[in-house]
Amino acid sequence: MRFKTKGLILKQQNIGERDKLVWILSDSHGVLRAFARGAKNIKSPKCAGTGLLVYSQFSVFEGRDSYSVDEAVAIEQFVGLRSDIEAMSLAQYFAELCLNLCPAGQEAGEYLRLVLNALYLLAHHKRPALQIKVCFEMRLIALTGYLPDLVMCAECGVYESDEMIFVPHTGKLYCSECADRMGVQGVRLPRAAVTALRHTVYADFEKLFSFELKEELLEPLSFASERYIATMTQKDYPTLQFYKQLSGSLW
């Protein structure tokens, strides 16, 4: 059976001299692994269409227990990423997260829309990289069902405080008084950073990436979201470590 779908190449692996194995986050079938015959031939449109982090229109053949790519035509290659190693390394972390967290064998349009928007903003430097990272991480993990509880202090119910403490391994928020009294360990976030964190989870998708936050507050926020996703998924991401080395992160 053949079907057409649009999708993003999350990972590729060379098979011999001519062929590739690719992992696609597809609109219609979620993450699928497919064989792409002849995709290493640079004269073939399949070559560009199956490049890493390229968004393409695919024609896929579904065999009994495997998929193969018949056609791949690039729609968006995010060329801005290709000349910026730091942005590219962050994009590869996004791809690793998608590989681990996006569903397989079912529709995944929301996930695809999220990662395409993040890559577009990153490739065009439309937002600070850490802001894109926080939005992507928090919205992705929320889509998979791990919703943090950011509405109020988990202990006393206060909604706002000058500083609140986010606990990555529970996804709960505490006001500083309760956290100090109870000895809660977590990431200390000033009021503006808490507002931004709530926005990444609760805002309408159209407004997701649109907020203003001082650069120095993005660092702790980004640390909070990456710890949350790592503890919820019980996994460390090598691509994240690489990005942090490149970007000189102190967190």
Binding site for Zn ion (CB under 5 A): 153, 155-156, 158, 175, 178
Q: Which is nearer to Zn ion, 5 or 176 (CB)?
A: 176
8 A C-beta contact, residue 129 and residue 136: no
User: Minimal distance in Å, beta carbon 183 to Zn ion?
Assistant: 13
Whose Cβ is closer to Zn ion: residue 71's or residue 155's?
155
Closest distance between Zn ion and the C-beta of residue 173, in Å? 9
Residue 178 Cβ vs Zn ion, minimum distance, rounded to whole Å: 3
Nearest-approach distance from CB 119 to Zn ion, in angstroms? 38
Nearer CB in complex with Zn ion: 24/178: 178
Residue 8 in tokens: 């993003």
Smallest gap from residue 130 Cβ to Zn ion (A): 27
What is the Cβ-side half-sphere exposure of residue 138, based on CA atoms within 13 angstroms?
29
Cβ closer to Zn ion: 72 or 224? Answer: 224
Q: If you compute the radius of gyration of the chain from its CA atoms, what whole number of angstroms results?
A: 20
CB–CB of 45/80 below 8 Å? no
Nearer to Zn ion, 15 or 158 (CB): 158
Helix pair angle (85-101, 109-123), 10° resolution: 170
Q: Exposed, middle or buried, 111 (CB in 10 Å: 0-12/13-18/19+)?
A: buried
Exposed e or buried b for every residue in 112-122, given b needs 16+ CB within 10 A? bebbbbbbbbb
Q: Write down the least CB distance from residue 172 to Zn ion, Å.
A: 11
In terms of CB distance, is 112 or 173 closer to Zn ion?
A: 173
Distance CA 240, CA 194 (A): 23
